[in-house]
A and B are shown apart, each in its own frame.
Chain A
Amino acid sequence: MDDNTILKVNDLSTHYFTSRGAVKALDDASFELKGGQSMGIAGESGCGKSTLAFSLMRMVQPPGKIVKGSIDIRGLEVTDLSEKEARKKLRWQKISMVFQGAMDIMTPVYTVGYQMMEPLKYLKNIKGDEAKDICFKYLDMVNIDYELFYRYPHELSGGQKQRIVIATALLLDPDVVILDEPTTALDVVVEARIMNDLKLLKKKLNNSMIFITHDLSILAEISDKLAVMYAGYIVELGDAIEIYKNPKHPYTRKLIGAIPRLHVDVDRLEYIPGAPPELTNPPKGCRFHPRCDQAFDRCSQDEPGFHEVDGVKVMCHLYDRGA
């Protein structure tokens, strides 16, 4: 493991134990992230991308449970931590998260400043002017006027709230920042501006960032690495440019083909027929085979392993040269 590796995830599986059986929301996820690197996680709803984020934060709620695997953040083994330790050592300091719909996450009864200073107060015991200075430093980075620090959340626009939530997530200088659909509820102009700021932030800070979204066109703007998830598995993982230029997995290919383009006339949009499988009882063999147009006999029998093609890991039998 070279020095700059911040996050190392190995064979991580998280299942939800419901009355209908175990929902295999995340299976055998493995990846590494270096400092300053950003990774995008893409996939349809229900493919396990949020479960992956919650697992990294050690925030999987019962009946969910991390059943196997390891998460290593700069030498700290996340899966071994107790809840209390996770609160004291992990969250906000090692890893933080901007949640989906983060704009509505602030309580309306406290000022923005009070809420921003909370993690500093409880985790680092930094109070008063010192805490304020730290907050102002990060507000500056996300282009927010200091004046807003003393306002209440209802006085701010959606874009401003989103920026403040991002600044709060960065406060304790965590090694990894997870952004779960950070711009979904915003207008395109605001979205584009926030993405521009995030691009600059990514260069300036040495944190690793994980972006979770179903919108592949946003991920293209910001991620160095890309992980495409389907039905609980990371089916394709590698350099973002390579994957966009030439997607290997039939699922990725379809997903990129389904993006409507602004400057290209098309007669039909590509789509993937059918629906993602129930994760209580996923299909045998490759989980994508019932919807795949390149499936052959073996796909419904054996589960595919990872094959490396042009530096990209693909979970698909098409690339199994040995067989």
Chain B
Amino acid sequence: MTRTVIEVKNLKKDFEVSQSFMNKMMRKPKLYVKAVDNISFKIKEKESFALVGESGCGKTTVGKILMRLINVTSGEVYVKGKNISKLNDPYKLKVYRRMTQMIYQDPFSSLDPRFKVYDILEEPLLIHNIGSSIAERRALIEEALENVRLTPPDEFIDRYPHMLSGGQRQRVAIARCLILNPDVIVADEPVSMLDVSVRAELLNLMKDLIEKQDLTYLYITHDVSTTRFFAKHIGVMYLGDIVEQGPVGNVLDNPLHPYTQALLTAIPEPEPERLDRIKEIPIRGDIPAGTNIPEGCRFHPRCPYAKRVCIEEVPDYKIPAERGHIVRCHFAGEIEYKFRVKVISDEGEVVKEEVIDAGEESDTAS
């Protein structure tokens, strides 16, 4: 059995909202945004766990907590058996940061424009005192560049970031993470700024590195369609909570939470026959503010299936037996994965409505 590398238990993070001077004087109660609200998950060695959700659902906050960039409000984060959520000792932090690295979204701003590729990759080595001589460090840098397939390294080592394309820059950012030989990589939207072909190439590369360098990924993204290829497990976040998690194939083919179902319905698929069909997205309204999380099930104001119990009680995780994943919904397993499609005529009138069983549809696709 493979070891668990990352274990997050009941993690909470509240951000205080800054108040106006008048409100402070009048002793108005402090407001908090519950960015992460009591989440738990595990990632095993050499696996990647995808956190998906809309913007503002708290997925990046989880990544930052894992990097120990921000403090937690409560809960524990174990990385390789050690609780890092209260880690403050500078020496231990330095050791910890050597084994966890982060890939950022925007390769155009995450690399210093005045540093050459060599300098960018040398900096982490200098900080962590790796490689006693220039020759030794240069060898390490060349190896890192080869690992991300920027070959031959000599051609890239003396370039500045502006001389590289977006995909090449993101490779340099990945090389900068790999050079310290980390165990854990937090990849925060690593490919969302890139073209579709470059995206595919980089995801292939990042997946290969799992075996080659014994990596464990936390893959944070809003692009659910890339998770099927890249991740093994997936957690769907909504307003700071993971509402559904499990093996990626199960969750994507058989989503049980109404939010996951709506999210998946909304994803465009490259199938052009749907020109005159309008897929109805089974979700209402907009995402509420993080300061004001609804009582009961946090999804109930937007849920098309909400009943009285959803408003009154916070649902527990349910484990629908054969599907292999857990869902926070009162009616998990009872809601069928269906959506309505309106067929429109050339004049823009709705001619007929159909109900499509998306579960069956995805079975035929795979």
Interfacial residues, chain A to chain B (CB-CB below 8 A): 36, 44-45, 157, 159, 187-189, 191-193, 195-196, 199-201, 203-204, 214-218, 220-224, 240-241, 244-245, 254-256, 258-266, 268-273, 275
**Cβ of B269 and Cβ of A261 under 8 Å apart?**
yes
Q: In the complex, identify which listed stretch (B1-9, B89-97, B138-146, B198-206) lies at the interface while the others stay far away.
A: B198-206
Number of A-B residue pairs having CB atoms within 8 Å of each other in the complex: 153
| CA gap between A223 and B345 in the complex, in Å | 16
Q: Is B31 an interface residue (CB 8 A)?
A: no
Closest to A47 in B: B195
Contacts of A218 in B (CB 8 A): 268
Q: Is B275 an interface residue (CB 8 A)?
A: yes
Choice from A36, A263, A269 contacting B200 with Cβ under 8 Å: A269
Looking at the assembled complex, report how far the CB atom of B206 sits from the nearest CB atom of chain A, in whole angstroms: 11
**Cβ of B197 and Cβ of A157 under 8 Å apart?**
no
Interface size on B, residues (CB 8 A): 55
Choice from A187, A222, A223, A260 contacting B55 with Cβ under 8 Å: A187
Contacts of A224 in B (CB 8 A): 275
Contacts of A259 in B (CB 8 A): 196, 225, 270
Interfacial residues, chain B to chain A (CB-CB below 8 A): 54-55, 165-168, 195-201, 203-204, 222-226, 228-229, 249, 252-253, 262-276, 278-281, 283, 286, 344-348, 361-362, 365-366
A sample of 25 cross-chain residue pairs with beta-carbon separation below 8 angstroms, ordered by A number, consists of A44-B195, A157-B286, A159-B286, A188-B222, A191-B268, A193-B281, A195-B268, A196-B278, A199-B344, A201-B348, A204-B347, A218-B268, A222-B275, A224-B275, A244-B270, A244-B271, A258-B200, A259-B196, A263-B366, A266-B229, A269-B203, A272-B201, A275-B165, A275-B167, A275-B168
**Cβ of A200 and Cβ of B196 under 8 Å apart?**
no
**Cβ of B267 and Cβ of A221 under 8 Å apart?**
no
Q: Taking each of A157, A204, A221, A244, which has the highest tally of chain B beta carbons within 10 Å of its own beta carbon?
A: A221
Looking at the assembled complex, report how far the CB atom of A271 sits from the nearest CB atom of chain B, in whole angstroms: 4
| CA gap between A259 and B283 in the complex, in Å | 26
Contacts of A192 in B (CB 8 A): 265-268, 279, 281
Closest to B54 in A: A187
Contacts of A266 in B (CB 8 A): 228-229
| CA gap between A268 and B207 in the complex, in Å | 9
Looking at the assembled complex, report how far the CB atom of B126 sits from the nearest CB atom of chain A, in whole angstroms: 31
Closest to B224 in A: A262
| CA gap between A240 and B195 in the complex, in Å | 20
Closest to B149 in A: A273
Looking at the assembled complex, report how far the CB atom of A226 sits from the nearest CB atom of chain B, in whole angstroms: 8
Contacts of B283 in A (CB 8 A): 189
**Cβ of B270 and Cβ of A217 under 8 Å apart?**
yes
**Cβ of B268 and Cβ of A189 under 8 Å apart?**
no
Contacts of A223 in B (CB 8 A): 272
Q: Taking each of A193, A220, A241, A271, which has the highest tally of chain B beta carbons within 10 Å of its own beta carbon?
A: A271
Closest to A197 in B: B278
Choice from B200, B276, B347 contacting A271 with Cβ under 8 Å: B200
- Known contacts being A44-B195, A258-B197, A269-B229, is A200 close to B271, with CB within 8 Å? no
Q: A196-B279, A263-B361 are in contact. List 17 more A-B contacts (CB 8 A).
A: A159-B286, A192-B265, A192-B268, A199-B276, A203-B346, A204-B347, A217-B269, A220-B270, A240-B275, A241-B275, A244-B270, A259-B270, A260-B203, A264-B365, A265-B249, A266-B229, A269-B201
**Cβ of A216 and Cβ of B196 under 8 Å apart?**
yes
Closest to A195 in B: B268
Looking at the assembled complex, report how far the CB atom of A319 sits from the nearest CB atom of chain B, in whole angstroms: 22
Choice from B225, B273, B344 contacting A262 with Cβ under 8 Å: B225
Contacts of A272 in B (CB 8 A): 197, 201
**Cβ of A263 and Cβ of B275 under 8 Å apart?**
no
| CA gap between A34 and B347 in the complex, in Å | 16
